[in-house]
A and B are shown apart, each in its own frame.
Chain A
Amino acid sequence: MATATFRIWRGEKGQGKFQDYTSEVSAGMVVLDAVHQIQAEQAGDLAVRWNCKAGKCGSCSAEINRMPKLMCMTRLNTLPLERPVTVEPMKAFPHMRDLVTDVSWNYGLKKRIPKFQPRQPDASDGTWRIAQEDVERVQEFRKCIECFLCQDVCHVLRDHHMHEQFIGPRFLVYAAALEMHPLDVGDRVESLRKDFGIGLCNITKCCTKVCPENITITDNAIVPLKERVVDRFFDPLSNLFRVFSNSKT
C-alpha cells in the first residue's frame, strides 16, 4: 500500500516543532483520516478537534500545506504526496496544543452583537409570512459552520492582531444575516462602524476564498454592510431621510 509523510505541528502554547509521521494512504482518504490513523498508531496524545467528518460542524480547521482548510474535506488526492503534507493549527488564535487553538474569542464576540429582534407577527396566530426569495437572500449567510477559517486568513486579525477593534469576516457575515433578516428590526449599523471595525476591512477577499461553505463573504455580506454604514454616516441626504422616516435602511 502507498504511504505518505505528514509533517504535523506538535507542541503546546506556541512552543513546538514539526514532526514527521509516515502513514499508509488508501483510496478516498482525507487529511483527517491520516491524522486519526497517526493518532491511533503512533501518537496517542495528538490533539485534534473533529466531529462530523463531513464538512458540517466546522471543528477540524487547520492549515494544510499552509492553506486554511477543513481536514475532513481535504482529499489526499488533491495534494502532492511526493512531498510531506504539512498540517498546522490556525494562526490567528492563541495556540493550545498540537492542532488545537483557543477560539473562545470568537464565542465572546457574538454576545456583543445585538441579537435578533423580530417585527410584530403578521398573523393572529403569532406567525409570519415570508417570501422564499427573501429567505434565500440570508440563507447563504446562515450556512456558516463557524469553522473560523475566514478569521484565520484575514490579515487584520492574523497579521495585525486587531482582535480588539475588528470582529472579522465571520461576524460581519453574522451581522449581515441579522441586518438582512426579513423579520429583523434591530439596528447594528452604528455599532458596525464604531465597535466592530468594519472600516478596517479593505476588501482583499481572502476570507471568501477559504470559506468551505462558499459564502461570498466580501461581496454579499461585507460590501452591502459597508454601504449601509456609508449611507448612514457619510451621506447627508439619507441622514436627513432617516430622521424623518425613522426607518431602517
Chain B
Amino acid sequence: MSEYIAHEHDVLIIGAGGAGLRAAIEVSAAGGKVAVISKSLLGKAHTVMAEGGVAAAMGNVDDRDSWRVHFADTMRGGQYLSNWRMAEVHAKEAPARVRELEAWGALFDRTSDGRILQRNFGGHRYPRLAHVGDRTGLEMIRTLQDHGIHLGLDVFMEHTVVTLLKDGERIAGAFGYDRERGRFHLFRAKAVVLATGGIGRAYKITSNSWEYTGDGHSLAYHAGAALMDMEFVQFHPTGMIWPPSVRGILVTEGVRGEGGVLRNRNGERFMFKDIPPLYANQTADTEEEGWRYTQGDKNAKRPPELLTRDHVARCIRHEVREGRGSPHGGVFLDIAWIKERLPNAAEYIKKKLPSMYHQFKQLADIDITQEPMEVGPTTHYMMGGVKVDADSEMSDVAGLFAAGECAAGLHGANRLGGNSLSDLLVFGKRAGEYATAYAKENSLGAVNTDELESAEKWALQPFERKGSDNPYAVQHALQDVMQERVGIVRQEQEMLQALERIRELKAASDRVSVDGNREYNAGWHTALDLHSLLTVSEIVTRAALERKESRGAHFRDDFPAKDEQYGGCNVVVRKGAGGEMHLTREPIPPMRDDLQQIVQEMK
C-alpha cells in the first residue's frame, strides 16, 4: 500500500523560475488556489542567473523600435521556424510585462530622462534589453518572488515531481517526493502548468545547474503531449573555459554589447570573416563602425560579435579547429581594449559588468579591465519543448499547460538573447490565465491509485538494488556522449552511435543503486533524474537525425546547407502506443498576411 501526503489545488505549477512564478501570480490574482513546486529553494531557479536583460520593444533608447521590429527580429533569429503567433504575442505584450515588474518593485537601470534603460544585444536591431547591470535575472525573480509571497501561494520548495497523472485524456495532477525527508506527495489539481526550464545537464560543458535535467519535457512526453523543435539546443558562444572547474560558466553577451571583441591567437577579429547573408546589411563594415554602434550611434551597424549565438559559436569552434585558438582551446574575448577609447574604462567596465568582473577575478584570477578573457561555447538553452497553443499555452493534453524554457514555439531554430526573460513573463502570465479559466470549467480529475503505487515502487527501486552502477557515473557518461556526438556540429554516424550508447545507459540506469536513506539523499535524486535526462537526450538525438539540413542552432556536417524542404516544418515527437518514439515533420501554417508584410519590410 502506498503512503503519501495529498494536496488539492485549482492549479498546480511545476517550477518556480520566472515562468512559474509569473503564472502563479496570475492564478492567484484571479482567485484560484495555486501551488508552486520547485526542486530547489525559492529564488534559486535558473532565472536568478540571467545576466544581460529582458527584451521588450519599449523604444526608450531608440524610438524607431516597436513590436513590429521585435517580431521581425525574433522570426529572423528563429530562422522562420518560430510559431509566428507566439512571436507576435510576445513582441506586443513584453513591454507591458516589464512595466508591470516595475510596479511590483523592480528597479531597472535608467535613461537620462528617468525611463527604463535598454541595451544592445545580439540579433536585436535596436537597444531593447531592459537590465540591471548584469544581474537582471536576480532582479526579476526576486521581484516576482516578493510580490508572490503576499498573494497566498502554497510554495513547496525542494519537492520534485516524478510523474504526471491523468484521468482519461485530461490532466489530474502530479506525484513526487520531498527532498528533505523523501516522503511522497500527491498533488491533485484541475490544471497543471509546466515551467521546469531546460535540459542543459545532458551535456558536459554547460551553463546550467543540476536542476536542468529536462524533467518537464520528459513528464509531458510520457503524459502524451507532443514535443517540438527538440533538435535546437543553443550553445552560447562565450562560456568560461579556464580553469577546468569553471568550464561552461556563462560570460554574458553583455560584454560584447558593451564593446567587447573576439580575437584569435593572432589578434585577428575573426568574426568579420564570415557574415551570413541574412544579416549582411545589418552588420558593421569596419571595426570603427562596430565600436560606434556599441556606444549608441544610431547610424552605425552592429559589430559581427553580436551576430546570432549559433553563428558566433560555430565561428569560435572553427578558429579553434584551425589552430588559431587561445592556449586553453577557446578564443579571446577582450573588453579591456576599450581603454584606448574611454578615459575611465576600468570604472566603466566594473559598473556595467560588475558580476563578470567579480566572476573572473575570483574564479580565474583575471582582471577583465586589464586583460582578455578566454572563452568557448557552452550548452545554454533549449529552444525545443512542449508544443503548445500560441494563445493559451495548453499542450496536446487537456488541462496541461507549459511556459518558459520548457515550452517550444517562440524561438524556433535559435533564441535571441533577452528573449527568454520576456518569454517567461508573457507566456507565464498567459499560462496562468488560461489554466485558471480551465480550472474554473473543470472539476478535479480522478486519480488512479495503482498508478501511484507503481510510481512509488519505481522511485524506491534504487534502494533495493544491490547493483554496482553509480548514478553519477551514468550521468557523466551520458554527458560525454551528448557533448561528443550531439553537440554543436552533428553528423549521422555519430548520432547513431549516440543512440546506441543512450540505449546502453538506459539499461545501466535501471541497475543503479544508492546508499543511505531517503532523507536529502543526493545520490537517490540523481538516480531518479536520470529517467528524464535519458528521455530528452534520446529525443534530441532523434530529432537531430530527422532534420537533414543545417539551420540555426542545428548544424549538420553531412548536410551543411539549409534545405527548403525542412524550412517549412517543425519536427514533432510523440510517444507511440507501444512506448516507441514517434517523429513527424509538421508543416508550419502559412503566416498571416500582415505579419508577412512586416517580415518583408524588415528584411
Residues of A within 8 A of B (CB): 12, 26-30, 33, 39-41, 44-59, 73, 75, 96-98, 100, 102-104, 107, 110-111, 115-116, 118, 121, 126-132, 135, 138-139, 142-143, 145-146, 178, 181-184
Contacts and interface: CB of A to CB of B under 8 A. Distances in A.
Given A73-B363, A116-B105, 13 more contacts: A44-B470, A44-B472, A45-B517, A45-B522, A47-B519, A50-B210, A58-B44, A59-B44, A102-B180, A107-B42, A127-B102, A135-B108, A142-B139
A139 B138 CA distance: 11
A182 B516 CA distance: 51
B114 interface: yes
B147 interface: yes
Contact of B209 (A27, A50, A118): A50
17 contacts: A29-B243, A30-B363, A44-B523, A45-B515, A49-B40, A51-B46, A54-B363, A58-B43, A59-B41, A107-B41, A107-B157, A118-B105, A132-B109, A132-B112, A139-B107, A142-B107, A142-B142
B211 interface: yes
B49 interface: yes
Contacts of B46: 51
Contact of A116 (B104, B157, B249, B471): B104
Closest 3 interchain pairs by CB? Answer: A28-B243, A45-B516, A129-B114
Contacts of A146: 43
Interface stretch (B286-294, B298-306, B354-362): B354-362
Given A39-B472, A53-B249, A98-B520, A126 B109 contact: no
B460 interface: no
A110 B143 CA distance: 13
Nearest to B58: A127
Contacts of A26: 243-245
Given A45-B515, A96-B520, A131 B110 contact: yes
B184 to A, nearest CB: 18
A63 to B, nearest CB: 18
A47 B521 contact: yes
Contacts of A50: 209-210
B103 interface: yes
B99 A127 contact: yes
Given A12-B519, A96-B520, A116-B104, A130 B110 contact: yes
Nearest to B100: A126
B135 A143 contact: yes
Contacts of A59: 40-41, 44
Interface of B: 40-46, 48-49, 99, 102-105, 107-110, 112-117, 132-133, 135, 138-139, 142, 146-147, 149-150, 155, 157, 180, 209-211, 242-246, 249-250, 355, 358-359, 362-364, 470-473, 476, 514-517, 519-524
Contacts of A116: 104-105, 146-147
B57 to A, nearest CB: 14
B509 to A, nearest CB: 15
Nearest to A125: B99
Contacts of A111: 149-150
A44 B522 contact: yes
Nearest to B40: A51
A28 B244 contact: yes
Contacts of B476: 40
A100 B520 contact: yes
Contacts of A118: 103, 105
A112 to B, nearest CB: 10
Given A75-B362, A110-B146, A131-B114, A52 B109 contact: no
Which of B112, B471, B472, B514 lies at the interface centre, i.e. has the most chain A CB atoms within 10 A of its CB? B472
A115 B110 contact: no
Contacts of A102: 180
Nearest to B110: A132
Contacts of A33: 245
A138 B107 contact: yes
A30 B245 contact: yes
A27 B139 contact: no
A51 B44 contact: yes
Contacts of B520: 47, 96-98, 100
